[in-house]
Amino acid sequence: MNEKLEIALDSRERSLVTGGPLSGLPTLLEGEREVFLVYDRNVEKVAEGIMEACPGIVGMMPVVATEEEKSIDTVLDICGRMMDADLSRDALVLALGGGVTTDLTGFAASVYKRGVRYANIPTTLLSQVDAGIGGKTGVNFESYKNMLGVIRQPVFTYLSSEVLETLPEREFRSGAAELLKTFLIEDRDGGYEKAVRYLSGGDGDLQPLLFAAASVKAGIVSRDPFENGERRKLNLGHTFAHAIEHEARLRGDDITHGEAVAIGIVLAAALADGLGVSRDLAPRLSQDFSSAGLPVRCPYPLSALAEAMGKDKKAASGMVRFVLPERIGSVIVRPLAVSAALKVLSTR
């Protein structure tokens, strides 16, 4: 993967999406004299390799990648360790891990000394195609996901399929939901069908799919970095997914973000079918997602999701902006009252 993408926010803030073998990292870090590495404990071996290969690393901190640890307390711990390492404003903070680690690290770097640069080396499929690109950082607060955070771009995101080798199967499948989501929004290089084929039978190559998905996300973020319009499309399935995750936490159920997104996308397609925005899309996506090893049925009654959906931070004055798929590769955003959406879904 030698291609390079650039996300340009304005003349000041630019973000590079690149990738390849991890052996390419030291070159990218050349000239960096103060690098602080925040890494997920589950990729400690990769972290050790990076520390050996990159002389500029002056400090590090392992984190435990759970939603409970994705908290303001952990951000304060990271900042404390950066202070202990006497990190200056010129430092670069490197995040190595999945979305929990990149979200936490990006947030800590954004507030430390009013903001130092950070970069991501995402180690899950989900974070390679989604969380690690686009500059959304943050933590959970009072049982609500990503309630506190800032949008600030990493100086680079390094995509290396090497790091996925140790990823548990369930985590890989969860990332597959975001991969499919991306191609539902924009079907770059026929990525949707290729991804379904790859995920259901291992047919094809993952590497070009990673980069195609990353380029879709990078393109959208470049055009709308602060989510005033087009970027909202990336929330496809997420209004439902956040509500499902909220309900799962209340019940003590075990469901990953990607699994919730898969169910949420199928619900969004059912809503689109019900509103006449699409035709028979829900059954098709249901079949594709199932064959990709993803859950498609909501385990909770719709009424249980209603309250959390109203409180979603994207809800404005009781209305929620639903992202509705029209067909593969095209979605629209439509504001709708939660009660109206659930009424349509209850008839499906």
Ligand X SMILES: NC(=O)c1ccc[n+]([C@@H]2O[C@H](COP(=O)([O-])OP(=O)(O)OC[C@H]3O[C@@H](n4cnc5c(N)ncnc54)[C@H](O)[C@@H]3O)[C@@H](O)[C@H]2O)c1
Catalytic option among 238, 245, 247, 259: 238
Least distance between ligand X and beta carbon 39 (Å): 10
Size of the site for ligand X (CB under 6 A): 29
Stretch that binds ligand X, among 2-10, 87-95, 163-171, 273-281 (CB under 6 A): 163-171
Catalytic residue chosen out of the listed positions 2, 114, 142, 228:
114
DSSP 233-251: GGGTTHHHHHHHHHHHHHH
Q: From CA 220, how far away is CA 181, in angstroms rounded?
A: 13
Q: How many residues belong to the chain?
A: 348
Mark 85-124 with x for binding to ligand X (rule: CB under 6 A) and - for no binding.
------------xxxxx-x-------------------xx
Task: Select the span of 37-45, 54-62, 203-211, 317-325 touching ligand X (CB under 6 A).
Answer: 37-45
Q: Which is nearer to ligand X, 98 or 191 (CB)?
A: 98
Question: What are the distances in angstroms from CA 141 to CA 69, 101, 138, 181, 186?
Answer: 11, 16, 10, 26, 32
* Of 232, 217, 220, the residue nearest 323 (C-alpha): 232
Two tokens, residue 1: 């993967």
Closer to ligand X by Cβ: residue 53 or 83: 53
Q: Which of 65, 184, 270, 296 binds ligand X (CB under 6 A)?
A: 65
Query: Of the two residues 67 and 224, which places its CB atom closer to ligand X in the complex?
Result: 67
Q: Which residue from 171, 247, 259, 312 is in contact with ligand X, where contact means CB under 6 A?
A: 171
Residue 114 is among the residues annotated as catalytic for this protein: yes
Confirm whether 68 is a catalytic residue. Answer: no
Is residue 167 within the footprint of ligand X (CB under 6 A)?
yes
**At closest approach, how far in Å is the CB of 335 from ligand X?**
22
- Candidates 98, 44, 37, 38; CA nearest to 67 is 98
Q: Least distance to ligand X from the beta carbon of 197, Å?
A: 23
Of the listed 227, 326, 327, 334, which one is catalytic?
A: 227
Of 201, 193, 163, the residue nearest 293 (C-alpha): 201
Q: Are 294 and 237 in contact (CB under 8 A)?
A: no
Q: Catalytic residue at 246?
A: no
Q: Does 245 bind ligand X (CB under 6 A)?
A: no
Q: Please, where are the H alpha helices in 112-168? A: 125-126
- 3-state SS class at 260: helix
Q: How far apart are CA 34 and CA 87, in angstroms?
A: 7
Please report, as a single letter, which amino acid is at residue 167.
L
Type of residue at 65: A
Decide if 119 contacts 156 (C-beta within 8 A): yes
Please give the positions annotated as active site. 114, 136, 178, 217, 227, 231, 235, 238, 242, 257
- Chain contacts with ligand X (rule: CB under 6 A): 40, 42-43, 65, 67, 70, 97-101, 103, 123-124, 126-127, 130-131, 134, 136, 145-146, 163-164, 166-167, 171, 174, 257
